[in-house]
Structure 1
Amino acid sequence: MKMKKMLFALLTLAMVMPVTNVKADSEAYLVLGKDLNANEKATVLKLLGVENENDYNVSYVTHDEEKKYLSSYISASQIGSRALSSVLLEQMDTNSGITVETKNITYVTEKMYQNALITAGVKDVKLTVAGPFKISGTAALVAATKSYEIMTGKTLNNNAVDTANNELSVTSDVAKETGSKDDAADLVAALKQNVASMGDDYTREKGKEALKEIENKQNIQLNEDTEKKILDLMDKIKGINLDEDALKTQAKNIYESIKGYADIINKNKGILTTIASKVKEFLSTIINFFTGK
């Protein structure tokens, strides 16, 4: 009888004990470039910190997929002829934001990925991007959004994903003029916040005014063609209705660094709020006087 009770206790314990090695079920998602050869794949897995790919949900991104999403915005030479960019995507706690780490990626910076992922509608993830050697990394956004959809079971808005890919290209064009990819990413992020904060009040002209003021703040002057590309991008961003709070939550590090020029369009909001508050106070005093309060 004692033996039966012991066996029952052991079985019960086994049923409630936490299961280890559950990455393949929920925690991390691995998307590999379909054209990696064996040696390249081994290098990428090592860079991503993956010891055993069977511990992960694994899928692949093809060169055709890269061309489908990127060819409208990025040159064929940047896209390349093989799908090599690979990513490891991990779900993080709600409101923890997006963090990015790159390895062997030359064209796209961590800030650029972070900005674009927010535009695509991705939230609360840790993304690691790796190439088997120095590569542009343009296709990694395709892999990242693909893995996010698999991870969450939700389909991202096609227009948002397209806009995110467009954003990578535009930010790169800005970087060529500013000489700094970080400055370019900051400019795009600041203008995006302005567009989001304007809401239905946004017009292209207001976007242009905000862009000019941000350029002045950054002490740069972009050519008309680049400005047009930026404003075209902002028109698309307005169309996908980005949430301003989500922008700040998902990229805390970026929005900490652009406080000086992220709120250009709302610079008078504080003054107007103060005036409105004083008017309300004055009216309240009059009402209280006549009601004997």
Structure 2
Amino acid sequence: MKKIVAGVTAAVLAGAGVLSTPSGAAADAAPGDIIITLGEDLSDEEREMVLSEMDGDEQDQIVEVTNEEEHEYLGEFIPSGEIGSNAISSSQITIAEAGSGIDVDTNRINYVTEGMYANALVTAGVEDAEIYVTAPFEVSGTGALTGIIKAYEIETDIDIDEDQKRVANEELVRTGELSENHGTEEATELMARIKEEISEEDVETEEDLRNLIERIADEVGVTLTDEEMDGLVSLFERMQNLDIDWDRVQNQIGQIRDNIDEWMSSEEAQGFVQSVLDFFSEMIDTVRGWLEGSGGSESNS
């Protein structure tokens, strides 16, 4: 089981490109409200197992996700083999208090990272929610992404534009590809910085956008290939055509940065860091013991 901590919060920043939605979109959704998504191809036993893991049951609000829906929204950006032929991954969405941000926890998901989920969710306009993604065995997790967005539409009674969904999925994949080639931290910081700069600068032409991306990539320490550059230019042009509220983007990124700073100064964060340091200290002591033992044996022979 994996939890978003410091490194993954950068991915949330990268996903702060909130597409324009009516203010108060989630007015009918109250903190504590829960909706569950289940892959349509779960067996009865697997379905029961997943519901039990999420402390849910058949009486909860449940949305089923089909493999056809997965391919519809992700097929243009993710290889068919990664999507698979069965909808298995499932999720639980709990509405959180305003200002809480998005918290993603996963179990047995081996392709989509917590940060990639956060990217797509915030881009689609999802805010202040606790997300738990799981499956009865190791799966890619792409079906859960489709399901969460579908569940959000139902919970908030809003129909998200099909182009918005596709842009959210494209951003998810672009960030994942950049992460593979340049590292998760660098890729997510690059995406966040581009959005911050777009919210502050006048970007009117493709050349303006290309120059902005190139400058920020250089500042972050990422050398983009021509293909990566063209992909980012295309992505952000599509976002601009969807009339993104860039002021809201900037506010969202600022709020998330404040949440990160607050968490890092908390006792929970300090305890986490100390546990990591203790682990490495013990590991070094163990290795030192092995080396000393090995050296003594050789001298005696």
TM-score calculated relative to the size of structure 2: 0.69
Match of 1:112 in 2: 116
What CA deviation, in whole Å up to 9, does each residue of 1:17-37 have, x standing for no partner? xxxxxx9xx810001000112
Q: Return the alpha-carbon distance in structure 2 between the equivalents of residues 185 and 46 of structure 1.
A: 34
Cα–Cα, structure 1 residues 44 and 194, in superposed 2: closer, same or farther, change >3 Å? farther
Paired residues of 1:74 and 1:169 also in contact (CA < 8 A): yes
What CA deviation, in whole Å up to 9, does each residue of 1:118-141 have, x standing for no partner? 221222222211122222212222
Structure 2 residue matching 1:132: 3-state secondary structure: coil
Q: Alignment RMSD, CA only?
A: 2.8
Stretches of structure 1 that go unaligned for 5 or more consecutive residues are: 1-22, 260-293
- Give the C-alpha shift of residue 75 in structure 1: 0.7
Q: Which has more radius of gyration?
A: 1
**Letter of the structure 1 residue corresponding to residue 190 of structure 2:** L
- 1:72 and 2:76 aligned: yes
Cα–Cα, structure 1 residues 102 and 202, in superposed 2: closer, same or farther, change >3 Å? farther
- Give the C-alpha shift of residue 256 in structure 1: 6.1
Out of 241, 263, 280, the position equivalent to 1:239 is 241
**Letter of the structure 1 residue corresponding to residue 184 of structure 2:** K
Paired residues of 1:83 and 1:139 also in contact (CA < 8 A): yes
Paired residues of 1:70 and 1:139 also in contact (CA < 8 A): no
Cα–Cα, structure 1 residues 248 and 110, in superposed 2: closer, same or farther, change >3 Å? farther
- Give the C-alpha shift of residue 93 in structure 1: 2.5
Structure 1 residue matching 2:136: 3-state secondary structure: strand
- 1:176 and 2:180 aligned: yes
Instruction: Please identify, of 36-45 and 104-113, the stretch whose mean Cα deviation from structure 2 is larger.
Output: 36-45
Structure 2 residue matching 1:163: 3-state secondary structure: helix
Paired residues of 2:124 and 2:168 also in contact (CA < 8 A): yes
Cα–Cα, structure 1 residues 39 and 187, in superposed 2: closer, same or farther, change >3 Å? farther
- 1:127 and 2:131 aligned: yes
Paired residues of 1:105 and 1:134 also in contact (CA < 8 A): yes
Cα–Cα, structure 1 residues 250 and 82, in superposed 2: closer, same or farther, change >3 Å? farther
**Letter of the structure 1 residue corresponding to residue 114 of structure 2:** E
- Give the C-alpha shift of residue 97 in structure 1: 2.3
Structure 2 residue matching 1:81: 3-state secondary structure: coil
- 1:41 and 2:43 aligned: no
Alignment length (residue pairs): 233
Cα–Cα, structure 1 residues 52 and 93, in superposed 2: closer, same or farther, change >3 Å? closer
**Letter of the structure 2 residue corresponding to residue 190 of structure 1:** R
Cα–Cα, structure 1 residues 224 and 88, in superposed 2: closer, same or farther, change >3 Å? same
TM-score calculated relative to the size of structure 1: 0.71
Matches within 5 A, 1:158-197: 158-178=162-182, 180-197=183-200
Instruction: Please identify, of 188-197 and 219-228, the stretch whose mean Cα deviation from structure 2 is larger.
Output: 188-197
Structure 1 residue matching 2:142: 3-state secondary structure: coil
Match of 2:143 in 1: 139
Identity score, percent: 31
